[in-house]
Amino acid sequence: MEIQKVLESKLTTDNLAKLTALDNAKLHKFVADAIELCKPESVFVCTDSDEDIATLRQMALDGGGEHKLAMEGHTYHFDGFNDQARDPSRTKYLLDEGKSLGQSLSSTEKQAGTEEVRSFLKDSMKGRTMMVCFWCLGPVNSEFSISCVQITDSPYVAHSESILYRKGYEQFKKIGNSEEFFRFMHTQGELDERGCSVNIENRRIYMDLDNNIVYSTNTQYAGNTVGLKKLALRLAINKSSKEGWLAEHMFIMGVNGPNDRVTYFTGAFPSACGKTSTAMVPGQTIIGDDIAYLRKKGGEVRCVNVEQGIFGIINDVNPDDDPVIYKSLHTPDEVIFSNILVSDQGRPFWMGMGCDTPTTGINYSDRWNAGDTGADGKKLTPSHKNARYTIRISALANRDVNADNPEGVVASGVIYGGRDSDTQVPVEQAFNWTEGIVSKGASIESETTAATLGAQGVRKFNIMSNMDFVAIPLGKYIQNNLDFVDGIDKVPGIFSVNYFLKGKDGNFLNGKLDKTVWLLWAELRVNEDVDAIVTPTGFIPKYEDLARLFKQALNKEYTQEDYVEQFTVRVPELLAKFERVEGIYKEKVEDTPQVVYDTFAAIRERLTAAQAKHGDYISPLELAK
């Protein structure tokens, strides 16, 4: 392949000049290979200019997967009926023969897998424009920065990335002829009359970790196609493991303490478990809601938001529970809604938004009327359970002033969450970093949601809320986290939260905004402002501290009866949980560090001792004596 001739055959003089201004042989070869493979009609190279970014948006509106809504700047997009979540069964790592990441991580032989996915890319862009876009993971001009190039034939994907990620063309110039950048090649494949991908059986998301490249075919759902999101997270986890930093499925937020103090927390939650809503709690500030890079600098843990936008689940976003997000979604600005209901007046609606839903409109199933059923006989919901919104964080009133700080912010605490209806208390602090990583992060079980294909409501093991994205052996991943604080002067506190604890009547024991109090208590703890009660599994709040915080933050009375019901130590359930999780490690994680089993043994010993003394269900008031 004569690279220059291939580029000249499809790029106009202007686009060729934009590409060759980036003097990088590996980049030019990648673009030329994509041209030869996908056979586009033309190629558009997107720089950082406002004009080029505006071109992406217009392409999306001109038959590229988006449509205007009534409010200025707002558009909507529909993925295919069966293309509305990540697809773990068709998401695999490409590994050389004989290599393995362990039985918990899905992979396929590299040569065969590469040939398969490239066969679906072959001739896929005939008659279309190939877009070559440059974005930066992390703030630009930072040691956290990772340069990326995305090739796609979906203007919706390219436009989404322009909202979600920082511009990377000028940043790319700074790497010169370096081969250290991430590459993404995507085709939406054949489309139906609605512009949705047709050949779902040929949906593939394959990742070559050795060469930092991701191939994605026959899909439009952003989790499968927006390369810089979870696909890049997998590449970054592999890269960070080699270089001694962490890439995590975490938000970053500022929690406001006494005397104008701001304390920064990271937090890892499985999808649809409250991660974005936690990062957006009223009265606090947000840096990012989904992916963080963490590095050790000057004896501190510093972290940055990989993204500049939010691809959030919109189901149940309403003015009472999520006022900041709700306001941004009703303000004239650039917003993409996906898989919502669009009324005949061009307004977006979604389930749980706090107002009456129209009885007719268009949605992910096509023309919709209330009561319509699908092929399975079940009623079609007005919007999809995994309907989404895409916005810039800069559009939010509570954006933190350090959101783009190239030095990052100091992480003082780490929070792990999940869906747990019957076991863990609403908030608890681990005794130390090691026990926190093992018992809070590496032991997460969470009920599945609509964000991933498959049955919902199933209790699923999800290490660090990152199970779907870990790109190294799980034992190595745990050890990396354990070792990360070596040399840190003040080690961050580790907390677990559980917003989904239910009472005997089946109802949730907490309101959605109660998470504010759990955050404020964690802020006080890492700054050593309040004492706590010792339980077999960690530190929990004292009643008087929570009562004060509920009154101050939410103007809400918090009864001792509520406190006892929520913070009772449920010994049988906890013993069963750790037995289940330990069994998973013994069965599926060949390289589990011994400290994991030692920690489980210590927790089990403390739980059984407390059980012998106090019984199966232990009131926090009993432990406070």
Residue 449 has pLDDT above 90, yes or no: no
Q: Give residue for tokens 């403390």.
A: 606
**Average pLDDT of span 255-274:** 93
Cα–Cα distance measured from residue 195 to residue 584, given in angstroms and rounded to the nearest whole number: 42
Parallel, antiparallel, or unpaired for β 533-535 and 427-429?
Answer: unpaired
DSSP state of 373: B
**Average pLDDT of span 144-149:** 98
Q: Please tell us whether the domain made up of 311-395 is placed in CATH 3.50.50.60.
A: no
Q: Give residue for tokens 């792990």.
A: 416
Q: Give residue for tokens 């970054």.
A: 236
Could you report the per-residue pLDDT of 339-386, keeping only the tens digit for each?
999 999 999 999 999 999 999 999 999 999 999 998 888 999 999 999
Homologous superfamily (CATH) of 3-65+87-244 is: Phosphoenolpyruvate Carboxykinase, domain 1 (3.40.449.10)
Do the Cβ atoms of 237 and 207 come closer than 8 Å?
no
Question: What pLDDT is stored for residue 321 in this prediction?
Answer: 83
Residue 524 has pLDDT above 80, yes or no: yes
* Sign of the dihedral defined by the CA atoms of residues 427, 433, 438, 441, in that order: positive
Question: What pLDDT is stored for residue 493 in this prediction?
Answer: 98
The arrangement of secondary structure in 247-308+401-623, i.e. its CATH architecture, is Alpha-Beta Complex (3.90)
Residue 214 has pLDDT above 90, yes or no: yes
Question: What pLDDT is stored for residue 453 in this prediction?
Answer: 53
Residue 482: what residue type? L
Residues facing residue 391 across a β-bridge: 310
Cα–Cα distance measured from residue 623 to residue 493, given in angstroms and rounded to the nearest whole number: 22
How big is the CA angle at 422 (ends 420 and 427), to the nearest 5 degrees?
60
The active-site residue, picked from 196, 273, 303, 355, is 273
Longest dimension (CA), the chain: 80
Q: Give residue for tokens 């599994």.
A: 537
Residues facing residue 618 across a β-bridge: 569
Above pLDDT 70, what percent of the chain? Answer: 98
Transcribe 283-343 into DSSP letters.
TSEEEESS-EEEEEETTEEEEEES-SEEEEE-TT--TTT-HHHHHHTTSSS-EEEES-EE-
Cα–Cα distance measured from residue 74 to residue 331, given in angstroms and rounded to the nearest whole number: 9
Read off the tokens for 16: 């060729």
Residue 451 has pLDDT above 90, yes or no: no
Question: Could you confirm whether 133 is annotated as catalytic?
Answer: no
Residue 104 has pLDDT above 80, yes or no: no
Domain boundaries, the chain: 3-65+87-244, 247-308+401-623, 311-395
Write down the mean pLDDT value for the chain. Answer: 95
DSSP state of 621: H
Long-range contacts of 329-333 (CB under 8 A, 24+ apart): 329/389, 329/391, 330/71, 331/395, 332/71, 332/72, 332/73, 332/74, 333/73, 333/391, 333/392, 333/395
pLDDT tier at 512 (50, 70, 90 boundaries)?
confident
Could you report the per-residue pLDDT of 22-52, keeping only the tens digit for each?
999 999 999 999 999 999 999 999 999 999 9
Question: Which of 186, 171, 286, 173 has the alpha carbon at shortest distance from 232?
Answer: 186
Question: What pLDDT is stored for residue 450 in this prediction?
Answer: 55
Question: What pLDDT is stored for residue 376 in this prediction?
Answer: 87
Residues with Cβ within 8 Å of residue 123, at least 6 apart in sequence: 38, 39
**Taking the CB of residue 480, how many other CB atoms lie within 10 A of it?**
17
**Average pLDDT of span 62-66:** 96
**Average pLDDT of span 419-445:** 96
Q: How far is CA 226 from CA 325, 326, 557, in A?
A: 22, 24, 44
Question: What pLDDT is stored for residue 462 in this prediction?
Answer: 93
**Average pLDDT of span 86-100:** 91
Do the Cβ atoms of 339 and 81 come closer than 8 Å?
no
Residues facing residue 459 across a β-bridge: 447
Could you report the per-residue pLDDT of 490-509, keeping only the tens digit for each?
999 999 999 999 998 999 99
pTM over 0.85: yes
pLDDT tier at 452 (50, 70, 90 boundaries)?
low
Question: Which of 179, 188, 114 has the alpha carbon at shortest distance from 158?
Answer: 188
Residue 107 has pLDDT above 60, yes or no: yes
Question: What pLDDT is stored for residue 432 in this prediction?
Answer: 98
